[in-house]
């Protein structure tokens, strides 16, 4: 089992990496031209980092009983950093919701133009109002 101090350094490094990934996610979400592949890559990176941090947290709990005051101070710094990351994640979630709402509005606007018209016996589109005049020959 690694020492608590080493575990805390690894946790802090993992949190710094997570922060960088979340900053990248925020920038992608703010661009407005988000691609699914970029979002998937960021999500996979976040999941991997969170799994590693979860394992490190289990190891930290095992080593906590022998903690000294320096390690406890380092832990307080980590707690503050996790709070900041939590807030960043909430903000990124809000940005993602806004992007999804925008996309839904755009799709709703485009959908009527994509629907194939149904044709009546006369070969003209049925139940369609174009504002024009229909002529029969």
Question: Does pLDDT of 137 surpass 70?
Answer: no
Question: Which pLDDT score, from 0 to 100, does residue 50 have?
Answer: 95
Question: Does pLDDT of 72 surpass 70?
Answer: yes
H helix runs in 115-129, sequence order: none
Question: Does pLDDT of 1 surpass 90?
Answer: no
Question: Which pLDDT score, from 0 to 100, does residue 130 have?
Answer: 53
Q: What would the pLDDT profile of 31-55 be if each residue is shown by its tens digit?
A: 877 788 888 899 999 999 999 999 9
Question: Which pLDDT score, from 0 to 100, does residue 38 have?
Answer: 86
Q: Which residues pair with 119 in a beta bridge?
A: 125
Phi/psi at 35 (5° precision)? -100, 150
Q: What would the pLDDT profile of 119-136 be if each residue is shown by its tens digit?
A: 667 777 666 555 555 555
- Model-level pTM? 0.60
Taking the CA atoms of the chain, what radius of gyration do you get in angstroms? 27
């Amino acid at each position: 089992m690694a020492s608590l101090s080493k575990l805390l350094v690894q946790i802090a490094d993992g949190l710094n990496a997570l922060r960088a990934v979340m900053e990248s996610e925020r920038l992608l979400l703010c661009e407005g031209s988000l691609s699914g592949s970029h979002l998937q890559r960021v999500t996979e990176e976040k999941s991997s980092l969170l799994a590693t941090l979860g394992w490190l947290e289990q190891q930290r709990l095992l080593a906590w009983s022998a903690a000294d005051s320096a390690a406890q101070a380092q832990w307080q710094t980590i707690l503050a950093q996790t709070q900041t990351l939590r807030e960043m994640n909430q903000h990124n979630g809000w940005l993602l919701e806004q992007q999804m709402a925008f996309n839904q509005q755009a799709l709703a606007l485009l959908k009527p133009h994509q629907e194939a018209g149904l044709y009546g016996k006369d070969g003209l589109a049925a139940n369609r109002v174009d504002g024009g005049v229909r002529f029969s020959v």
